């Protein structure tokens, strides 16, 4: 597909969130994948604010990024954490220590160990409401162009509207339960990834891709598939291993 077609596909993904059985976790993982494709970056992570106001990692494009983002939350530092607090973008952050000016020194060192040299953080915000942040990582020391910056913020804005719409569909007193359910779903997904990766003796990223393909092929929510696998209701041999 052309870049314009991929961008349109990302918007269509957001439109699909208008249905009641919309899977928030799968949508945000798809957003990460779309950003990697459209923005020519190496990895993407998405954090959302929980009912208590703290950031929680909800989606990442790969396992290395997931662990790095969790590290940022544990140490309460990094571009996503600061972006969420300020509600403003942090772009073209040089993680290379050779210049002696790398911000977030603990986070930067961990990011370099993962292979990343540049990072960008964009707020997930609607007017004055900031619900999270999207982090872009690149293994190359290169700036995000003005065009790509606009595309990245547009995708973050679309995702924000989708998340808020999803919350609006539910009754107001169910909003807290929704976030708790999303966090519970994340735990279920991580467990299923681990089970499948161990059984296949493969990387967790490969296991996760297989689970997502199975969910989409059979038109079943990702979280439901993962729970079926954990509970033994889904035969591992029924999942296509590529």
The answer to whether residues 205 and 62 touch, using CB atoms and an 8 Å cutoff, is: yes
CA gap 37, 207 in Å, rounded? 20
Q: If we measure between CA atoms, which residue out of 151, 103, 155 comes closest to residue 124?
A: 155
> DSSP string covering 72-87, please?
HHHHT-SHHHHHHHH-
Rounded Cα–Cα distance for residues 92 and 144 (Å): 6
31-84, pLDDT tens digit by residue? Answer: 898 899 889 899 999 999 988 888 999 999 999 999 999 999 988 889 999 999
In this prediction, residues 195-210 reach a mean pLDDT of 95
Question: Can you name the residues that pair with 120 across neighbouring β-strands?
Answer: 136
Within the chain, all domains assigned CATH 1.10.10.10 are found at: 183-238
Q: What is the CATH number of domain 183-238?
A: 1.10.10.10
Instruction: State the distance between the two ends of the chain, measured CA to CA, in whole angstroms.
Output: 23
The hierarchical CATH code for the domain 3-169 is: 3.30.450.40
Give 99's pLDDT tier (boundaries 50, 70, 90).
low
Q: How far apart are CA 110 and CA 80, in angstroms?
A: 15
Q: pLDDT tier at 193 (50, 70, 90 boundaries)?
A: very high
For residue range 226-240, list pLDDT tens digits in order. Answer: 999 999 999 999 999
CATH 3.30.450.40 domain range(s) in the chain: 3-169
Q: What are the backbone dihedrals phi and psi of residue 23, each rounded to the nearest 5 degrees, phi first?
A: -100, 105
Contact 28, 46 (CB under 8 A): yes
């Amino acid at each position: 597909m052309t870049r314009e077609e991929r961008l349109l596909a990302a918007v269509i993904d957001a439109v699909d969130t208008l249905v009641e059985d919309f899977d928030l976790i799968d949508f945000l993982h798809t957003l990460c994948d779309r950003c990697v494709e459209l923005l020519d970056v190496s990895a993407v992570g998405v954090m959302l604010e929980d009912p208590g106001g703290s950031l929680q990692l909800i989606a990442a494009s790969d396992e290395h990024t997931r662990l790095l983002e969790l590290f940022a939350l544990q140490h309460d530092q990094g571009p996503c954490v600061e972006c969420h607090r300020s509600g403003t973008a942090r772009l073209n952050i040089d993680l290379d220590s050779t210049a002696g000016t790398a911000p977030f020194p603990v986070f930067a060192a961990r990011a370099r160990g993962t292979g990343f040299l540049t990072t960008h953080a964009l707020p997930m915000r609607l007017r004055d409401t900031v619900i999270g942040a999207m982090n872009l990582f690149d293994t190359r020391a290169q700036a995000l162009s003005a065009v790509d910056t606009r595309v990245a913020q547009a995708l973050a804005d679309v995702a924000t509207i989708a998340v808020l719409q999803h919350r609006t569909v539910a009754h107001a007193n169910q909003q807290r339960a929704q976030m708790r359910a999303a966090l519970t779903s994340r735990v279920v997904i991580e467990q299923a990834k681990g089970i499948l990766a161990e059984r296949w003796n493969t990387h967790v990223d490969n296991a996760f891709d297989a689970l997502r393909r199975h969910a989409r092929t059979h038109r079943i929510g990702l979280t439901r598939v993962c729970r079926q696998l954990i509970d033994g209701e889904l035969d591992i041999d029924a999942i296509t291993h590529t």
